[in-house]
Amino acid sequence: MTETEKYIEFNNVTFSYGTQGDETESRKRKDAVKDVSFAIEKGTFVCIIGSNGSGKSTVAKLMNGLILPTSGTVISAGYDTSDDQNIWEIRRLVGMVFQNPDNQIIATSVEEDVAFGLENIGVPREEMIARVDEALKMCGVDKYRHSEPHLLSGGQKQRVSIAGILAMRPSCIVLDESTAMLDPKGRKQVLDIVKKLNKEENITVILITHHMDEIVDADRVLVMEKGELVKAGTPVEIFSDRELISDLGLDLPPAARVFEPEDGHDFGETVLTKEQGVSVLMKKLV
C-alpha cells in the first residue's frame, strides 16, 4: 500500500438500527448513518466531529467491523469488512480505543493487560515480551508495568489501553470519544501520544471528539449531522464556516473565540491556536 493510497473507504454506507422486515416493521428502523462516502489516506490525522446523535460513533464501529453496513461497503486496510474471513485481520490493523478505559482493561496488572491481545493471537513469548515492553515505553507507562490498573488515573488508564492496541502492531488507531471522561491533563497525555504515533510511526489516527480544541492539528475534519456527512475539509476550512458551526451547535476552539470578528474588528484570518493568535497580533503591531 502506497503512502497516498486510500486506507479506509466508505462507499455509500448506510447503517440502520432496528428491524428490516415487512413494511410495518421497517417503520421502526432508524438510520444512524445515511449514504455516507469518504476516504482516509494512510498516515493522516483525521477528526470526526458532530453533535450528539450525529452518527460519529456508528462510523467508528463500522471502520473495524464491530458492526456491518446495512448497505454500501466499508473497506479497511484494503479489506471489505463484510467478508467474515477478513474480520480478525481488520481488527488487528485497525485498533479501537473507546471512551471508558475501564471497559477495555481486564487484567490484574498493566503488563498482563497489554499482553492479553498478543496471547489471543498466539504471539511467541519472547516476541510478546519485546512488544509489550516497546508499547509501554511508547505510551510512557512502562514505570507502571507491575501496577494494578484500577490504581491509575484516567489518563494513565487510557494510555495503557492505547499500549494494548499498539502491541498488536496496528497501522491505524480509531479513538471514539477517548478523551471525553478525562481531565485536561489526561486529555493532553492521550493526545500527545497519538500525535507522536501519527508523526513518528506513520500510524493513521482517526479521532472522534466533541472537544473542538483537539482538532486544530488535524490534516482533515469530517463533520457529521443526523447520520450524514455534511462537510469535509481542513480545520481552517471547517471553522471558517461560522454558519455551519452555529447551525450544528458546535463550539469554536478557545483561540478562535478570542479572535472572532467583532465590532468591525476583523483580523483577516481564522485563528485556531494561541500561537497563531500571537502571530496575528504581531503582524498588526508591525
Alpha helix (H) residue ranges in the chain? 23-26, 56-63, 87-93, 110-120, 125-138, 154-166, 184-201, 235-239, 242-247, 254-258, 274-285
**Would you say 38 and 232 are in contact if contact means Cβ atoms under 8 Å apart?**
yes
* pLDDT value at residue 180: 85
In 3D space, the residue among 103, 188, 189, 90 whose CA is nearest the CA of residue 139 turns out to be 189
Domains of the chain, each with CATH number or no CATH: 6-251 (3.40.50.300), 252-286 (no CATH)
pLDDT of residue 236: 87
- Residue 156 and residue 116 in contact, taking contact as beta carbons nearer than 8 Å: no
User: Do strands 172-176 and 204-208 pair parallel, antiparallel, or not at all (unpaired)?
Assistant: parallel
β-pairing, 71-76 vs 220-225, is unpaired
Question: Is the Cα torsion angle 150, 152, 157, 160 positive or negative in sign?
Answer: negative
pLDDT of residue 4: 53
Which residue matches cell numbers 467583532?
A: 262
- Torsion angle, alpha carbons of 233, 212, 38, 226, to 10: -120
DSSP helix, strand, coil percent of the chain (3-state; round to 5):
40, 25, 35
pTM score over 0.75: yes
List average pLDDT for each run of 10 residues in the chain, which is 286 residues long: 73 84 59 96 95 92 95 96 93 91 91 92 92 93 94 93 92 92 87 92 94 90 96 90 84 68 56 61 60
Per-residue pLDDT, 30: 85
Q: Are 26 and 60 in contact (CB under 8 A)?
A: no
